[in-house]
Amino acid sequence: MDYLENRELSWLKFNKRVIEEALDKDVPLLERLTFSSIYQSNLDEFFMVRVGSITDEGIINKNKRENKTNMTPSQQLDAIFTAVRRMQFIVEKAYTQTMAELKKYGFEHVSMSETSEDERKFLELYFKREIKPLISPVVIDKEHPFPFLKNKELYVAVQLLSKKNVKVGIIPVRHEHFERMIPLDGTGKRFVLTEEVILEYAGLVFKNFKVIDKTIMRVTRNADIDYSPNCDDFREFMTEAVKKRKKLAPVRLELSDEFSRVALDYICKKLELKNERVFYSRIPLDLSYLFSLHGLSNDKALKYEKREPQNAVSITETRSMLSQIKSKDVLLSFPYESIEPFIRLLREAAKDPKVTSIKITLYRLARNSKVIDALCSAAENGKEVLVMIELRARFDEENNIEWSKILQNAGCNVIYGPEGYKAHSKLLLITKKSDSGFEYVTQIGTGNYNEKTASLYTDLTLMTSDKEIAEDADNVFYGLLTGTFVESTNKLLVAPRCLQNKILDMIDDEINFAKNGEEAYIAVKINSLTDKQIIDKLVEASCAGVKIELVVRGICCLVAGVPGYSENITVKSIVGRFLEHSRIYIFGTQKRQKIYISSADFMTRNTLKRVEVAAPILSEKLKKRVYDMFRTLMSDNVKARVMSNDGVYAKKASDSTVRLNAQEYFYDEAYKNAQAKNERRLKERAKKQKSRKKSEKNEK
């Protein structure tokens, strides 16, 4: 179909938008380097997860075709590798251009050929004293088999000339033993990288051989774990599965420079990789060190303006969170507003003698989690604490395994997601005794219970005392406890049985309004759109005359503006300082609007293969707030890119003379609101003091 795009190629377009930020002149220089590092980190994970999965699929069923563009696994891989190679020029340009501009601020990544004579003497001595004693080189032969190359770690590979034949030598570059950046001045801003020094002096390692060619290399391994348990203890199974991941097959080999074909063919043979999976880069193969450059300068011009989450205007700091939520629904918007009111809610619940139980789903957590501390305190205080912790949260499996042990030791009842289905919902239910029976506080969020990402990702969290929502939430937890799924709900949308079908029904409602000549509208903000049933229904709505506005940060398999199909659909993607992570669903014009926030993207894995929750915004005041937020995102003319009907994203020239960066706008509003709230508090305090003095004077 003309309106469909391959999922993997759409994701690569998203990562292209990320690297474009590394070339944006409006982005401070050190932040541009951060985007270069994010691009590379994203691509690493893409190869580990998606390329790994497609590779496995090609082995199992090479003729299986994906449902968007009818491509086989091999066709998808060919298209992916071609797209990645085409992007490499932009990636290299972004890095070299930014480093060149940083030179006037003292930053310089010096190549070995650019070092002075004195510097080379220093580096050779440094290599002999600090590096050489800690490295373990190997010459591959019958007695020394090809070593296991760890995922994403750097190695120096050399071709050696011996008296008998050509051999290959490998030197691990182990950063746990020495610093990645070797400073060439007192500030540390002028530096060489350790792997470049090892590459330069590799001849000193293999003394009995002549080095005739050399390169830095890096292997990316498949991370597609089989989550089907084969033991009674799921936590034990996941512990073993994570260990096995580290040894899965390579899916990519990166080299820092052209390398001897004979030696490269030998290495590829040992790794069981075809040459099509070899990629070259003229910039460092691992850019993670770039984050450390931020700490080397206090120049404000090189970094984003410092921003900190503000106290929410709707929250009273001196009043119990439980009582505030009882009187009105509360909505927090991260990172613009602080996560502290939510942490305070958990702590209050842990201590309140009338709170009988706390139930929560956990997916990803901060390293020093205040959420875990509060839950452990609650259990130790005699509360019934049920924690559903998802051990299959990709790349957080080890962390969650450890958290599950800590929670269990504290007395929490710990369970895991249902077999075959991840529990991705962000759901909390607090039950409290009252004089009239029981009261409930339910929290539904779009993002994780993670204090760190709450300052980096845009997310929404709703806290409500609505009893029907609490009943739905309780049914979700009952399903998680019993291995069953929610079949019907009062107000929440709950995947896998009660989300996709209800979304389709609400789209149908808008189609019917349009067919009856009434104005019809759908707006959605998500991370990804791949669910073909929803895509086809949106196209049907477009053909019926429904106006559809989509803000999709990453993958979007629906091509907007295609004549005869998606003419009434607009797709925007916002890539900026903060990761756009919140999910918002809006159905209907303002007079009959239904608005939800959710943890679920419109991906089949979310709508049909996970436990997900979407919550309605019931307060008219909060509905207006969320709708206004969406309109601001649609009005962004700085960081938003618009998809054209050929699937290409581009920033569009705006008719408005006012530049609107939605993320900066939301932060400005948060600061203004917090300042106004503080000023009101000071005025009230002054008024009370004046009244007290007047009263004291009258008493005298």
Number of other CB atoms surrounding residue 120 within 10 Å = 13
CA distance 502 to 488: 10
- How much is the pLDDT for 228? 76
Mean pLDDT score of the chain: 95
Residue 176 confidence (pLDDT) above 80? no
Count the Cβ atoms, other than its own, within 10 Å of residue 358. 24
* Polymer length of the chain: 700
β-sheet with 154-161: strand ranges across: 138-139, 166-173, 154-161, 210-221, 250-255, 278-280
Q: H or E segment at 370? A: helix 370-380
Contact predicate 130/170, CB 8 Å: no
- Residue 81 structure tokens: 């590798």
What is the per-residue pLDDT across 138-147, written as a single tens digit (0 to 9) for each?
999 888 899 9
User: Among 150, 240, 246, 131, which residue's Cα sits nearest to residue 192?
Assistant: 131
State the virtual CA torsion across 319, 322, 328, 332 in degrees, nearest 10: 90
Contacts of 198 (CB under 8 A, 6+ apart): 127, 131, 135, 156, 171, 173
- 56-98: pLDDT as tens digits: 999 889 899 999 999 999 999 999 999 999 999 999 999 999 9
pLDDT tens across 5-46, in order?
999 999 999 999 999 999 999 999 999 999 999 999 999 999
What pLDDT score was predicted for residue 579?
A: 98
- The answer to whether residues 17 and 649 touch, using CB atoms and an 8 Å cutoff, is yes
Give the other-Cβ count within 10 Å of 568's Cβ.
Answer: 21
Q: How far is CA 81 from the centre of its chain?
A: 23
Q: What is the pLDDT of residues 119-131, one digit of tens each?
A: 999 999 999 999 9
- By the 8 A CB rule, do 171 and 198 touch? yes
144 is catalytic: no
CA nearest to 623, candidates 590, 664, 575, 581: 590
Do 140 and 167 form a contact (C-beta atoms < 8 A)? yes
Kindly state the average pLDDT of the residues 575-597: 97
Using an 8 Å Cβ cutoff, are 469 and 491 in contact?
A: yes
* pLDDT tens-digit readout, 624-678: 999 999 999 999 999 999 999 999 999 987 666 789 999 999 999 999 999 999 8
Q: What is the pLDDT of residue 594?
A: 98
Catalytic pick from 144, 175, 294, 424? 424
Output DSSP code: residue 188. S
DSSP code for 224: -
Task: Write the pLDDT tens digit of every residue in 547-564.
Answer: 999 999 999 999 999 999
* Residue-wise pLDDT tens digits, 266-311: 999 999 999 999 999 999 999 999 999 999 999 999 999 999 999 9
Give the N- to C-terminal CA distance of the chain in Å, as an integer: 87
Say which range, 153-167, 250-264, 523-537, has the weakest mean pLDDT: 153-167
**Site of tokens 């239904």:** 594
pLDDT at 214 over 90: yes
Higher-confidence residue: 111 or 691?
111
Alpha carbon distances (Å) from 444 to 178, 386, 522: 45, 16, 22
Residue 96: per-residue pLDDT: 97
> Contacts from 502-509 at CB under 8 Å and sequence distance 24+?
503/534, 503/585, 503/602, 503/607, 504/533, 504/534, 504/537, 506/585, 506/587, 506/594, 507/534, 507/537, 507/538, 507/540, 507/541, 507/546, 507/587, 508/537, 509/587, 509/588
Quote the pLDDT of residue 656: 66
Quote the CA–CA distance of 527 and 646 in Å, as a whole number.
Answer: 20
Token pair listed for 630: 């969406």
Indicate the range of 155-169, 188-202, 377-391, 507-521 predicted with least confidence. 155-169
CA distance 432 to 393: 31
Amino acid at 247: K
pLDDT (0 to 100) of residue 175: 67
CA distances for 122 relative to 115, 129, 604, angstroms: 10, 11, 57
| pLDDT value of residue 135 | 92
For 610-634, the pLDDT digits (tens) are 999 999 999 999 999 999 999 999 9
Quick one: pLDDT band at residue 229, thresholds 50, 70, 90?
A: confident
- Distance CA(391)–CA(416), nearest Å, equals 7
| 688, containing H or E segment | helix 662-699
The tens digit of pLDDT for each residue in 489-506 reads 999 999 999 999 999 999
Question: What tens digit of pLDDT does each residue of 246-275 get?
Answer: 889 999 999 998 899 999 999 999 999 999
φ/ψ of residue 573, rounded to 5: -130, 130
Question: Could you report the per-residue pLDDT of 312-358, keeping only the tens digit for each?
Answer: 999 999 999 999 999 999 999 999 999 999 999 999 999 999 999 99
420 vs 370, which has greater pLDDT? Answer: 370
Written as one letter, the residue type at 20 is E
